[in-house]
Amino acid sequence: SSRSAAPLAAPESMSTPATSAHDGQSGTFPDLQKLLSRTGPMANVGNYGTIFDPPLPFEPSPEILSFMQQHARVLVVGAGGLGCELLKDLALSGFGKIDVIDMDTIDVSNLNRQFLFRKADVGRPKSTVAAEFIMKRVSGVTVEAHFCPIQDKPADWYRQFQVIVMGLDSIEARRWLNAMACSLVTFEVDMETGQRKPDLTSVIPLVDGGTEGFSGHVRVMYPCVSGCFECTLNLFPPQQAVPLCTIAETPRNAAHCILYAHLIEAPKQFGDEKQDKDDPAYQQWVFQRAEERAAQFNIPGVTLMHTQGVIKNIIPAIASTNAIVAAACANEVFKVLTNCAAYVNNNLMYIGGQGVYAPTFRYERSPECIVCGAGVQVETRVPGAVVSFCAHRQGAKQG
C-alpha cells in the first residue's frame, strides 16, 4: 500500500511520474510513522471531547499507519469544491481506501475552483473524474466512485465505512445522511438502570464540513452519542421568502427583478414547458428581462452572475475557504481513526472575512430529537390493546 505524491495542480501537459516528497522515501510517510509510533504531550491526554468514559489512551504502534492504508475505509460524500479538496487531503494523509459518492456532472462553471476537473471533463460524473484524477496522481490509493444519489445506497453499504465525511451543499442531504448513520447504531440494555446504551462498535463517526463565502464549519458527530445534525436543525436561519406581490408590484432590489423575470415572465413566455436553470440560453433570457425590469424602477445591480446566483440559489464558493475547511475535516478524520490526538469537541467555526477567527464550541444532544432521541414510547395496561387497535384500523381501511 505504499504510494507517492505529485503536485495535484500540475499542468495537463506534465507526464512526469509521481514522486514522493517524504524525505526521498517513496510512499513511506515517515512523518506519519513518527507521529503514530510514539507518544507526546498532545497525544490524547484526557482526550478532550471523547465519547469514551474513561478515555481511551493513545497506544503508539507502527501498525496504525498500515491500518489506515490497507483496512480503514473512508466515505467522502460530495465531489464539488469541498469534496475535491477532501479527496486530495485524505489521499495525501495516508488513507488508502476511499469512496466518493456524488450525483452531479461537471459544469464549465466548476473549473475555477474544483481543481480535479478539466475542460475535457465537462458533462462527465464528478465522482468518476475525481476518483480517476486522485488515483493517477497519488499512487497506491484506491478511490471508488459512485455516480448516484446518496438515497440509492442501502444501509448495509454505509455500514462498511469507518468514518463518513460530508462535503455537501444541502441541508436536506445532511439530514438524510445523519438519519441513516443514526439508524445503523445498535443498542444494549444496561441491566442495572434498564436504560439503552449505544453499542460503540456500531457507531460510525460523521465529519461534516461546510463553507459559505469566507466562512465555514467543521463538525464531528457520533450518532446517538453526541449531538447529531437534527439536534441543532433549529439553529439554521429560515429561508428568506419574498412575497410575490412585492416582486410583481414594487421590487426593491436586483434580486426582486431577477425573480420577476424567472417566476412571472418566464411562464408567460414558455408556458408549461419547464426551463433548465443551468441552461446558459435561459439564464441570458432571464438576465435581459431582469435588466429591463430594473431599468423601469431605477434599480442597479442586475448582472449575469447575480442572475445565475438567484435562479440557482447559489451559495458563494471561495477556493481558499474550501481548502481551509477541507484540511480541518481531514485532520479530524485522521484523529478520529488513529486516536493520536483529541478531536474537536465538537464544532469548529472558521470566520475569515476580516482576519482569521476559528472558535470551537460544543453542540449538546437534544433529548427530544426525532432522530437520535429516545423516541415515542406507548405504554398499554390492557393486554392485546395494540393488536386490537391495529386490527381495527386495518378493518376500517378495507371497509
- Whether 182 sits among the annotated catalytic residues: the reply is no
Pairing of strands 142-147, 97-102: parallel
Classify each residue of 311-333 as buried b or exposed e, where b means 16 or more C-beta atoms within 10 Å of its C-beta.
beeeeebbeebbbbbbbbbbbbb
The amino acid sitting at 344 is V
Name the residue among 116, 92, 229, 127 with its Cα closest to residue 174: 229
> Count of CB atoms within 10 A of residue 54's CB?
8
CA 164 – CA 333 distance, rounded (Å)? 9
Look-up: residue for cell 446517538? 224
Instruction: Please name the residues in contact with 191: beta carbons below 8 A apart, sequence gap of 6 or more.
Output: none
Please pick, among 245, 340, 369, 372, the residue that the annotation labels catalytic.
245
Q: In what order do the strands lie in the sheet with 360-361?
A: 142-147, 97-102, 73-77, 163-166, 206-212, 215-221, 347-351, 360-361
Q: Which residues are catalytic?
A: 245
